[in-house]
Amino acid sequence: MKLPGKMMRFDLHLIASWIEPGARVLDLGCGEGSLLEYLIQHKKVVGSGIEQNESRVAKCIEKGLSVLQGDINVEIEDYPDDSFDYVILSQTLQQVYAPDELIRAMLRIGNKGIVSFPNFSHWRVRLQLLTSGYAPVTRQLPYQWYDTPNIRVITLKDFRKFAREVGYRILKEVAIDAQSTKRAGNIVRAMPDLRANYGIFLITDHC
Amino acid sequence: MSEYTQKDSQGHSVGIVEKKLHTSAEPPGELELECGRRLGPITLAYETYGTLNAEKNNAVLILHALSGDAHVAGFHSAEDEKPGWWDSMVGPEKGIDTNKYFVVCSNIIGSCMGSTGPCAINPKTVMPYGLEFPVVTIGDMVRAQKTLIDALGIKRLLAVVGGSVGGMQVLEWCVRYPDMVAAAIPLATTTRHSALAIAFNEVARQAIMADPHWNNGNYYFGDRPKTGLAVARMIGHVTYLSDESMRLKFGRRLQDKSDFSFSFDPEFQVESYLRHQGKRFVERFDANAFLYITKAADYFDLAKQYGGGSMVEAFSKMDARFLIVSFTSDWLYPTYQSREMVKAIKKTGGDVSFCEIEAEWGHDAFLIPNPRLSGIIGGFLYRVFNETAR
C-alpha cells in the first residue's frame, strides 16, 4: 500500500483529525478510498466504504480496503444500529435526493456523523447571481443548471438551521477555503458564511 | 462452466503440476451423507501449487464449478496444449499469487474427474456405481474436502475461493467450518438456485435420461449416452453466455455458407459452436456425474439449511471476511442474488466487499482473463493475509 498522506485533500485531512485511533468508520461515497486508506494507516481505524462506481470500487478493493458497490441511500439501511463510531458523508450531501433521511440513517448506524458540502453562500456565488442573473458556476460547483449532479443548494447557515430544527447537535464545525482536488487550503475563521467554500460538520443525535 | 484457452495476461505459469489423490472414509468409518446413506472409501483428486509456509497460514483453497476439475493451473506434461481451467488467475504474480500462497484445488465427490463418483468402482460390487451412487449434496462434498485439508495439516484456510457451484462450496465451507475459513471469495454464485436455474438443469438432465444409451445410468460397458450429454451441455452452455456475448460472438452469421441450405444441418455459427462444445464435453465428462452434480446444486439452499429460512441467520454462523463478485451479464446467477448475500452479511455486522464487474460474457465471465477481477482478488487476499496471519 502506498502512503497517501501527502496527497490527500485538505478537507479530508481535517476530517481525519477529528477521528480517534481505533474507531469504526464508514465512508459513504468513498471514491478511490484515499480517506479510508489514510485513516487505516494513521489512525488504525476499522474502516469500510460504499461507492457506486465500479472502477472506483475495484481500485479500493485492490488497495486492500473493505468497500462495497452500491447506492449509499439503499446500502445504509442494512447496517444494525450503532455499527460505527463515525459515518462520513464527504462532499456528497448536495447530490442526495433525501438528505434528511440519509442523515437520520447515518446517525442511526453511527454514533457520530461527519458531513461536508460546498457552501452556496460564498460571496462569489452571491455576487454572480446578483450581477449576472445566471445560476452560479464556480470551481466548487462547476456545472450548468441542466447537467449538475448537485441537486441541493446548501449554505453553512442552512445546515446549522437544519440541525437545530431536527434536533441534531453540532459537536464541531469548520469552514474552509480550499480547492476540491488540492492539498492546500485554509481554515476560515472570519465571516465563514461569506468566505468559506466548504463546510465540515461533526454531528450527533445524542443529547 | 466453459473452457477457455486464452493466454494469460499477466504473470507466468506454475509450470508442470501433478494430480494427487486423497482417500478417506475407509470402512467402517464411511461418511454419513445428508441423504442418510454411507459412502466410503472416498477418493478426492486434488492439486497443490506454491509452498505452505511454516505457520501454515497462507493456504488458499480453490473450488471448481460444475464440470471443472482439480487442475486449476499449469500443465500436466510438457506436451499439454491447454493449461488448467483458471490459469489466468493462479500462478506466480497472478491474482492468486503462488509465490505468496499455498494453493489447493480440490475436486468433488460425485465428479468423474478422479474422485469417487458414479463412474468410480463400487468396492462392494467391483462394478461402476452408476445410479447405486448415493445422491450427494454440496455439504457432503465439503465434508469430504475437509478431510483433505486436515490431512494437509492446515488448521485454518486463509481463503476459500470459487465461482458458480464452486461458490456454493465456498459458502458451505464458511458456514460448516467457520473457524477454518479466514476469508471467502464467492464469485458469480448464489445461495440457492432460482426456478430458472433448476429448470435449465432439469431440461439438461432430461436430455441425458431420454437418451436410450443412458439405460438407467448403467452404460459403462456399452455405448454411452453421448447425444443426451451433448444436448445437456449445449443447454448449459447457453445459460453460461449472455444475449450480448452471443450477439457479439455469433450474431446471425452462417458457418461456411453464404445462404440457407433449407435443411437441418448446422448452419448458423451459434449452432455449430454449440454442437462442437457438446461433442468436446462428451469426450471428457460422464453423464451420470452431470446428473449428480446438477442435483446437488439444485438442492443447495443456505438459508433453509442453516438459517431456518433466514439468510441473516445463516450468515451469522460464519466468521469470514467476504469478497463477493457478480457480473453484469450473468443471467444464471444475476447480481441481485449476490446482493442478497451482501445485505445479510451487513446485517450480521460482518466484513464484506462487493463488486459487480461490467462484463458481457455472462455467467462464464469469472473464468475469462480479467485484470479487474485479478486485481481485486489479489488486493483482498493481501489484506486478509496482513490482517489475519501476522
Q: In whole angstroms, what is the distance from residue A171 CA to residue B333 CA?
A: 46
- Looking at B290, B315, B345, the residue that finishes a domain is B290
Q: Do the chains contact at B321 and A68, CB–CB below 8 Å?
A: no
Nearest to A66 among B349, B353, B372 (CB): B353
Q: What is the CATH number of the domain that holds B275?
A: 1.10.1740.110
Residue B133 covered by a domain: yes
Please tell me which residue of chain A has the smallest CA distance to B377. A62
Residue B310 covered by a domain: yes
pLDDT band (50, 70, 90) for residue A110: very high
Tell me if A169 sits within 8 A of A203, measured CB to CB.
yes
Copy the grid coordinates of residue A162: 437544519
Q: In whole angstroms, what is the distance from residue A200 CA to residue A190 CA?
A: 16
Please tell me which residue of chain A has the smallest CA distance to B321. A66
Q: What is the CATH number of the domain that holds A142?
A: 3.40.50.150
- Looking at B290, B319, B354, the residue that finishes a domain is B290
Q: State yes or no: pLDDT of B9 exceeds 60.
A: no
The beta-strand segments (E) located in B111-229 are 121-122, 127-128, 157-163, 181-187
Check residue B333 and give its pLDDT: 97
- Tens of pLDDT, residue by residue over A132-190, are 999 999 888 899 999 999 999 999 999 999 999 999 999 999 999 987 566 778 999 99
Nearest to A67 among B349, B353, B356 (CB): B353
Q: How many CB pairs under 8 A join A and B?
A: 60
User: Is B164 designated active site?
Assistant: yes
Check residue A8 and give its pLDDT: 82
Residue B202 covered by a domain: no
Q: Are residues B283 and B307 in the same domain?
A: no
Q: How many domains does chain A have?
A: 1
User: Which residues of chain B are within 8 Å of residue A57 when distances are taken between CB atoms?
Assistant: 354-355
Q: Are residues B42 and B83 in the same domain?
A: yes
10 Å CB burial of residue B147 (0-12, 13-18, 19+) is middle
pLDDT band (50, 70, 90) for residue B3: low
Q: Are residues B223 and B365 in the same domain?
A: no
So what's the ipTM on this one? Answer: 0.93
User: Which residues of chain B are within 8 Å of residue A64 when distances are taken between CB atoms?
Assistant: 379-380, 382-383, 386
10 Å CB burial of residue B43 (0-12, 13-18, 19+) is middle
Residue B3 covered by a domain: no
Residue B261 covered by a domain: yes
Distances (CA, A) of A147 to A94, A179, A181, B371: 14, 21, 20, 33
Residue B5 covered by a domain: no
- Tens of pLDDT, residue by residue over B256-271, are 888 999 999 889 999 9
Q: Are residues B155 and B24 in the same domain?
A: yes
Nearest to A58 among B339, B355, B382 (CB): B355
Q: In whole angstroms, what is the distance from residue A123 CA to residue A127 CA?
A: 6
Please tell me which residue of chain A has the smallest CA distance to B342. A68
- Tens of pLDDT, residue by residue over A179-206, are 756 677 899 999 999 999 999 999 999 8
User: Is B9 designated active site?
Assistant: no
- Which residues constitute the domain of residue B124? 20-192+300-388
Q: What is the CATH number of the domain that holds B73?
A: 3.40.50.1820
Please tell me which residue of chain A has the smallest CA distance to B354. A68
- Looking at B259, B290, B321, the residue that finishes a domain is B290
Q: Do the chains contact at A69 and B343, CB–CB below 8 Å?
A: no
- Which residues constitute the domain of residue A94? 5-204
User: Which residues of chain B are within 8 Å of residue A68 when distances are taken between CB atoms?
Assistant: 342, 352-355
Task: Give rounded-to-5 percent helix, strand, coil for chain A.
Answer: 35, 25, 40
